[in-house]
Amino acid sequence: MDITERKKAEEKLKSQNEELEKMNKELEAFTYISSHDLQEPLRKIQLFAARILDSDFQQLSEKGKDYFERMQNAAERMQRLIQDLLSYSHANTSQDDLEFINLNSIVDDVILEFSETIAEKDAIIEVQELGEIQIFHFQFRQLMHNLIGNSLKFSRPGHPPHIRIESRVINGKHLKDDNIISDKKYYHLRLEDNGIGFDKEHQEKIFDVFQRLHGKNDYPGSGIGLAIVKKIVENHNGTITAGSAIDQGAIFDIYLPID
């Protein structure tokens, strides 16, 4: 890598960091609004809905019961959306310090959190020795939660989910990506599943906010989960790519620079 190439990469990184700092300040105000002003009316809707459910639900007509259940479902979707928006805004900032952590311990915690879903779907999760890496602990736990949760959610009917997680160290010169510095080493984390996959033409926009490639009735969610993953990777000065084909599963590759 010549001096000009390195200088361009450093200038690009500096510009990205300045833009991130600007976004962080803007999102502080948004976080307060999301955590209080948006959630308070929703809490009241859910509170009064619970009271109706306890005392007056059976007195409603069949049409009234149907409307009531739709209202409850809409309120639950709104709550999930607000929570996901909060997670996205928090992914732009971190109160933690970078620390060296064995990634297997984080993955083990996330697997335990999904234990019921894993049992229900007869899922198999293979985790290789992932080693120790310098990360923001809370953020990376959110990243693994979103990736594993994504694979469990988008499993193929009649096919138990099979998720494989592995890592290695690789030289940047072996990677073809504009964000990779060729003379650096990278921690390469890969998650591969056998789910429903997605069309190759969507492999870039899958990380966009509110991006949904599948029907919300079949696969509920806000479409923010993978956007959060990408933001967390960027907070670690890394890059993420996705590869897939319909009904052929998905592969997520994360590259984090090793200082």
Are 68 and 127 in a shared domain? no
pLDDT grade for 221, boundaries at 50, 70 and 90: low
Lowest mean pLDDT among 44-48, 102-106, 180-184: 180-184
Tell me: pLDDT of 208 over 70.
Answer: yes
Are residues 183 and 172 in contact, defined by beta-carbon separation less than 8 angstroms? yes
The chain-wide mean pLDDT, for the chain, equals: 81
Residue range of the domain that includes 54: 3-90
Are residues 179 and 239 in contact, defined by beta-carbon separation less than 8 angstroms? yes
pLDDT grade for 95, boundaries at 50, 70 and 90: low
Q: Kindly report, residue by residue over 3-42, the tens digit of the pLDDT.
A: 777 777 778 888 887 787 777 666 666 666 666 677 778 8
Are 161 and 233 in a shared domain? yes
Tell me: pLDDT of 201 over 90.
Answer: no
Higher pLDDT, 188 or 41: 188
Are 78 and 106 in a shared domain? no
Are 59 and 157 in a shared domain? no
Are 194 and 242 in a shared domain? yes
Are 163 and 192 in a shared domain? yes
Position 17 scores a pLDDT of: 79
**Number of domains within the chain:** 2
What is 107-143 written as a DSSP string?
A: HHHHHHHTHHHHHHHT-EEEE----EEEE-HHHHHHH
Are 84 and 128 in a shared domain? no
Tell me: pLDDT of 216 over 90.
Answer: no
Specify the residue for token string 């010169």.
173
Higher pLDDT, 205 or 145: 145
Q: Which of 39, 55, 90 is the last residue of a domain?
A: 90
Are 77 and 131 in a shared domain? no
Are 58 and 144 in a shared domain? no
Instruction: Please state, as a whole number, how many other Cβ atoms lie within 10 Å of the Cβ of residue 116.
Output: 8
Q: Which of 41, 70, 90 is the last residue of a domain?
A: 90
Q: Which of 66, 90, 114 is the last residue of a domain?
A: 90
Helix, strand, coil share (%) of the chain residues, nearest 5: 55, 15, 30
Are 154 and 121 in a shared domain? yes
Higher pLDDT, 135 or 216: 135
For residue 144, what is the domain's CATH number? 3.30.565.10
